[in-house]
Amino acid sequence: MGRMRKLLIPGVDKQLLVKDATKLMPDFTRRRFIAGGASLGALTLLTGCDVTDSFSAESMLTQMSKFNDAVQAKLFNPNTLAPTFPESAITKPFPFNAYYALDDAPDVDGAAWKLEVRGLVENKKSWTLDELYKLPQEKQITRHICVEGWSAIGSWTGVRLSHFLQLIGADTKAKYVWFQCADMDGYNSPLDMPTALHPQTQMTFKFGDEILPRAYGFPMKIRVPTKLGFKNPKYVISMEVTNDYKGGYWEDQGYNSFSGS
């Protein structure tokens, strides 16, 4: 049993995974120190001037990140496809990546799972896996690029998100599709509508022609080859079509929200 668990994802060392995950954890103390050190806060103490927080480096950086969101939205061409690759280019083993070890990854019961649909849609019925599997699927072999810098090429099969949004009568003039996941601490992430409607944005049910394994987000992952990896949520349990920016797990901690490739 122990050996089996160890081999769940061949070639991926669990100890390293945990190390990798902790490395990703934000060190808020240090972050605050750096932002605070670069702010005018210290000056206000000396002079008694009422300098608002908007002068701090941290809020300046947040403003720049929002500016970069806008620049990237302009740069995004809905007709530009992410490069595709031959089967031989697929990275093996494809890395498992999360802020927790694989043993702590959500273990979703596919038979009981239902995709919940909310927000600005005509039909809010929930979808079972069998119903979703019956929708037209297509395969893509594309490069997954992590915010950390590494990349890996994988093969994903599933339903075009744009097709599904059309099926449920979604208001495609809305700003976002917001995904919620089964991860511990409640992973979530917003996807801008132009990207949601991109032809390669996919509700993924298979990896490498096999039913999506637990490591890669069973039962459903959203594959977005025009975004960084953290904008490709796994273990998705609900989607909401909305005009509100509801934030996201990593986005709220400072990763750029658009994060387009």
Partner 1 sequence: MSSISATDHPAEKAASKVIQPAWVRIVHWINAVAIILMIMSGWQIYNASPLFNFTFSRSITLGGWLGGALQWHFAAMWLLMINGLVYLTLGLVTGRFRKKLLPISASGVIDDTKAALAGKLSHADLTVYNQVQKLLYAGIIVVGILIVLSGLAIWKPVQLQWLTAVFGGYEVARYVHFFCMAAIVGFLVIHIALALLVPKSLRAMIIGK
Nearest residue to 180 (alpha-carbon basis) of 127, 236, 98:
236
* Closer residue to partner 1 in complex, CB, 91/128: 91
Q: Taking the complex as a whole, how short is the minimal distance between the CB of residue 246 and partner 1, in angstroms?
A: 19
- Cα–Cα distances (Å) from 149 to 38, 48, 229, in that order, read 27, 44, 10
Residues 6+ apart with CB under 8 A from 152: 91, 94, 95, 143, 144
Q: Taking the complex as a whole, how short is the minimal distance between the CB of residue 5 and partner 1, in angstroms?
A: 26
* Closer residue to partner 1 in complex, CB, 10/149: 149
Q: Taking the complex as a whole, how short is the minimal distance between the CB of residue 151 and partner 1, in angstroms?
A: 6
Q: Taking the complex as a whole, how short is the minimal distance between the CB of residue 105 and partner 1, in angstroms?
A: 21
* Closer residue to partner 1 in complex, CB, 22/123: 22
Using DSSP bridges, classify how beta strands 188-192 and 138-145 pair: parallel, antiparallel or unpaired: unpaired
Which residues lie near partner 1 (CB under 8 A)? 23-27, 30-31, 33-35, 60-62, 64-65, 68, 75-77, 80-83, 143, 145-151, 225-226, 250, 253-256, 260-261
* Closer residue to partner 1 in complex, CB, 42/81: 81
Cβ atoms of 219 and 237 closer than 8 Å: no
Residues 6+ apart with CB under 8 A from 77: none
